[in-house]
Amino acid sequence: MTPRRSRVVLTALVSSIAFSAGCAGGDSSPDRLMDGSKADKPPIRLEGVDGPSVLTRVWVVQPSARGQKTRSASCLDHGRGSERPNGPSVERVGVNSETVTFEEASSGAIFGCDNSPGTREENRRWCGSAYGRLYGGRLRDPRLDILCGTTEEPVGFVWVHPAPEARYVSVEQPGYVEVYETAAQLPVRVATISGVEYERFRAKFDLREHDSRGKLIREYELEAFVAG
């Protein structure tokens, strides 16, 4: 595939459960992720990515490993109670984000939880959640969540369907690039603190996708809106 620059405009539904929360800003060269762990660089050079870059952490958690202290278990407790997960869940931690993604047992939807830095009511672990029905294995919108943060520096979350050959998805942040690895053939839940327009209920994501060797597959701008 020839790398190309495109603009994607999608309408997103706000997450069904969200709570007010604080969030921390991204540093031009962050050395820690949201959970306090060390922020590493990607293991290979990613074509088209210049300047500082940070590799987010990802775990694929099998159903038998979802103990009470896992992110996956607390996300299920946070949900509506009607979700029936199928197969492994994917847990991610970035500089200003923490997410869990599940596929539903019917394989007709995905759901998960979002979190950003800061305290919230009743010390809740998650400040937002998202649910999306799949059509032909894909979402019709990325399920934008912008309620998981403060109005001064809100965090925007969306799901991205990378190309089948993609190994990495990178997101432009203020002063650095945040890199996510694909996992378990599930959509990648990415976050941004750049381009979030809270008062207009929308967010823009500058994205790149790379293969396992770091070759650029495509780059594009995704503009997501909260549906009215």
Span 183-209, pLDDT tens digits: 999 999 999 998 888 778 899 999 999
Q: How far apart, in Å, are the Cα atoms of 205 and each of 63, 98, 142, 224?
A: 31, 17, 11, 8
Mention every residue, 6+ apart, whose C-beta is less than 8 A from residue 49: 42, 170, 177, 179, 208
**The two structure tokens encoding residue 223:** 């503009």
Provide the residue type at 162 as one letter: P
pLDDT tens digit sequence for 65-95: 988 789 999 999 886 667 789 999 999 999 9
d(CA 42, CA 29): 14
